[in-house]
Amino acid sequence: MPHTLEFDSIELSFDTRNILSSIYMRCQTGEVVGLLGRNGSGKSCMMKVVFGAMNAEHKSVRIDGVSLQGNYAGKRLISYLPQEGLIPSYITIKKAFEFFNITIKQVEKDLPEVLQFLHYKPRELSGGYLRLIEAFLVLKSNAPFCILDEPFSGIMPLHVERLIEIINEEKKTKGIIITDHLYRHVTSIADALYVLSNGKLYKIKDKEQLVTLGYISAYE
Ligand SMILES: Nc1ncnc2c1ncn2[C@@H]1O[C@H](COP(=O)(O)OP(=O)(O)OP(=O)(O)O)[C@@H](O)[C@H]1O
């Protein structure tokens, strides 16, 4: 039976600036939901609020109709890749795999080339490899839902393709919400697409709307 992550009535503002207003989204296991929006439109804030890492004036987040209350971020129902990095500076990549319950055998099977970095700490890795490992950790964790904030950032094309394959494998059992400015990749894997604009979330039906909402030019 599929599981559903659903959130609505998200309201967020900073001082007098309204960032998110009446946000509603639904994501089922078996589905990739793409989130697009101009720089500063509030995508990262929305993801933080849903994961539980940022307070909002109001929100309702539910899994299978059950409201998530209190400090639910630690309950591993949702795994979250923040834009600003995931692995603490003082632990090795091997420890990070252990923390996410990912075995070395799994790494060997799915992403063998990162085995060479097991004893590295995050600062010793290149930005692209670090991002690849972080996205892999979140996608392979046991949580039924993954939220990915710019997973492709700094990653070379060959590894973006591999990450897309992993996303497509993981979505068989998980629901994945992804935002990235490599929007062609996002649109190619998304089963549903939303754009955040002026604090509101719009479900996208065709490419023209991306132009109307000021995300891409008419010549793209
Ligand atoms: N803690 C904060 N205090 C005040 N303003 C904030 C805070 N966090 C975010 N903002 C503001 O909220 C707005 C939305 O930021 P957010 O990072 O969510 O945008 P984004 O859509 O993810 O942008 P980008 O595509 O550039 O990553 C921005 O104007 C940002 O400056």
Q: Closest Cα partner for 46 from 217, 214, 201?
A: 201
Low-confidence ranges of the chain (pLDDT < 50): none
Instruction: Establish whether residue 35 lines the binding site of ligand 1, counting it when its CB lies within 6 angstroms of any ligand atom.
Output: no
Residue 1: the pLDDT is: 84
Q: Which atom of ligand 1 is nearest to the CA of 37?
A: 21
pTM (two decimals): 0.96
Nearest C-alpha to atom 8 of ligand 1 is from which residue?
45
The CATH topology of domain 4-212 is Rossmann fold (3.40.50)
Instruction: Establish whether residue 12 lines the binding site of ligand 1, counting it when its CB lies within 6 angstroms of any ligand atom.
Output: no
Residue 76: the pLDDT is: 87
Largest Cα separation within the chain, whole Å, is: 51
